[in-house]
Amino acid sequence: MSDLIHRIAWILSIVSILVLSVFGRPWQQAITRLLNERMLFWLLIAVLGLLVLVGLVYITSVAASAKRRPGLWLVCGLLVLLAMIVPGRPEEVLHFITFGLYGFLSALLFAWIPLVLLCVGLAMGDELLQWWLPNRVGDWNDVSMNLLASGGGALLAWLGTRKS
């Protein structure tokens, strides 16, 4: 049953990335009319922190039931550092949220070679899609942010579920 839930969540993470690619800019403009960019940035940091916390709780429960040793404190520290390094722009934090979740779920479902191919493919494919959209611009810096975020999410899943 949990494998089915992982697969559904994984598909939803891909859909959310694609939907944000297509509709993200108008939504961002509408939201920034309600909230200033700084408030939006900290709101997204809070969401990122909540997702990390949920991931850590999930991994702790998986590790406890499977007698595995999670490297939770190391990963938590790395993700907090990454969140602090991210420039103070909401769209960059959103990369960490969406692609981090995608990488996390991908690592729970796939072996390493397909995992890497999927993360690289979606990171580049997302920016290629934006290249063709009239109100968006594909950006190689965003590809690296997408890869860093999906790699961080995959690392969190791997460290949390590896055997001692």
3-12 confidence digits (pLDDT tens): 888 899 899 9
State pLDDT tens for residues 126-155.
989 988 888 777 788 889 889 988 998 898
State pLDDT tens for residues 56-72.
677 667 656 555 555 55
Asked if residue 85 has pLDDT above 70, the reply is no
Pairwise CA distance, residues 83 & 79, whole Å: 6
Burial class of residue 152, CB neighbours in 10 A (0-12, 13-18, 19+) = buried
Find the mean pLDDT for residues 39-63: 74
State pLDDT tens for residues 21-31.
888 878 877 88
Domain interval for residue 64: 2-161
Q: How much of the chain exceeds pLDDT 90, in percent?
A: 24
- Residue 95 or 111, more confident: 111
- 24 backbone φψ class: left, alpha, beta (φ>0; ψ -120 to 50): alpha
* pLDDT band at 76; cut points 50, 70, 90: low
**pLDDT the model gives residue 147:** 93
Cβ within 8 Å of residue 10, ≥6 positions away: 102, 105, 106, 109
Number of domains making up the chain: 1
DSSP 68: B
